[in-house]
Amino acid sequence: MAFLFNLYPQSLVSNSRLYLSLSFSLSESSMAAIPQPSQPSPTQISKIKYIKKVAESPGLTSVPASYAFTPSPSPSDQAVSEDPEDSIPVIDFSLLTSGTPDQRSQLIQQLGQACKDWGFFKVINHGVPESLMEAMIEGIRGFFNLTDEEKREFEGKNLLDPIRCGTSFNTSIDKVFYWRDYLKVVVHPEFHFPNKPAGLSELSLEYCKRTRGVARELLKAISESLGLEPFYIEKVMNLDKGLQMFNANFYPPCPQPELVMGLPPHSDHGLLSLVTHNGIGGFQLQHNGMWVNVNAIPNSFLVNIADQLEILSNGKYKSILHRAVVNKKVTRISLVMTNGPSLDKIVNPAPELVNNGINQPAYHGITYKEYFQWQQGNNLDGKGILDRIRI
Ligand X SMILES: O=C(O)CCC(=O)C(=O)O
Stretch that binds Fe ion, among 41-49, 149-157, 265-273, 341-349 (CB under 5 A): 265-273
Touching ligand X, residues 68-97 (CB under 6 A): none
Stretch that binds Fe ion, among 50-58, 143-151, 260-268, 347-355 (CB under 5 A): 260-268
- CB of residue 301 to ligand X, shortest distance in Å: 12
**DSSP string for 318-384:** ----EEE---SS--EEEEEEEE---TTPEE---HHHH-SSS----B--EEHHHHHHHHHHS---BTH
Per-residue b or e along 237-254, where b marks 16 or more CB atoms closer than 10 Å to that residue's CB: bebeebbbbbbbbbbbbb
Select from ligand X, Fe ion, none the partner in contact with residue 389, using the beta carbon and a kind-dependent cut-off of 5 to 8 Å. none
Q: Are 70 and 103 in contact (CB under 8 A)?
A: no
The number of residues making up the chain comes to 391
Is residue 336 part of the contact set for ligand X (CB under 6 A)? Answer: yes
The one-letter amino acid code at 313 reads S
The one-letter amino acid code at 217 reads E
Among 174, 181, 268, 307, binds Fe ion (CB under 5 A): 268
Select from ligand X, Fe ion, none the partner in contact with residue 247, using the beta carbon and a kind-dependent cut-off of 5 to 8 Å. ligand X
Instruction: Kindly give the residue spans of alpha helices, DSSP state H, lying in the chain.
Output: 2-6, 10-22, 28-33, 42-47, 51-55, 94-98, 101-117, 130-144, 148-152, 200-225, 232-236, 307-312, 351-354, 368-377, 384-389
Is residue 310 part of the contact set for Fe ion (CB under 5 A)? Answer: no
Touching ligand X, residues 253-282 (CB under 6 A): 263, 268, 275, 277
Touching ligand X, residues 296-325 (CB under 6 A): 322, 324
- CB of residue 185 to ligand X, shortest distance in Å: 13
Q: Which residue is nearest to ligand X (CB)?
A: 334
- CB of residue 203 to ligand X, shortest distance in Å: 20
Select from Fe ion, ligand X, none the partner in contact with residue 334, using the beta carbon and a kind-dependent cut-off of 5 to 8 Å. ligand X
**Contact set with ligand X (CB under 6 A):** 247, 249, 263, 268, 275, 277, 283, 322, 324, 334, 336
**Contact set with Fe ion (CB under 5 A):** 268
